[in-house]
Amino acid sequence: PITPGELICLGSSLAFTGLFYYLYRKKARVVTRIQEAPKLQVDDNLPPLVSAADGRCLPYVALEGIVLPAKAALTSHYHEGLQGVIQKLLVKEHRLIWNSLARSW
């Protein structure tokens, strides 16, 4: 005889397993798309390629090329000879919509 508590535990366990498997498969597809991304060189051919793309955007591409630091490259304290730069990221929001529930733009 199975009690109602055991059925609830079994059902919730199956629901969580299904949810986590769905999330795993979704992320696995994204990782596969990133790994199969085309590798492009940073050269004079890149701007026309981006301009010709749909929406002027290239989804999941790997850019290869030389990066020059704005001031000086960062050196690692832990690995000798390892250098890096900081990427500046600018997010521009094109349209603001008033959210009456949160009372914010």
Structural domain contains residue 22: yes
Structural domain contains residue 62: yes
Structural domain contains residue 92: no
Structural domain contains residue 78: yes
Task: Output the pLDDT for position 2.
Answer: 87
Structural domain contains residue 63: yes
Greatest Cα pair distance, the chain, in angstroms, is 73
* Nearest of 93, 32, 30, 39 to residue 65 by alpha carbon: 39
Structural domain contains residue 101: no
How far apart (Å, rounded) are the C-alpha atoms in residues 22 and 16? 10
55-72 average pLDDT score = 81
Distances (CA, A) of 83 to 27, 65, 69: 30, 15, 10
Domain of residue 56, residue span: 4-84
Task: Output the pLDDT for position 94.
Answer: 65
Structural domain contains residue 100: no
Query: What domain count does the chain have?
Result: 1
Structural domain contains residue 93: no
57-61 average pLDDT score = 80
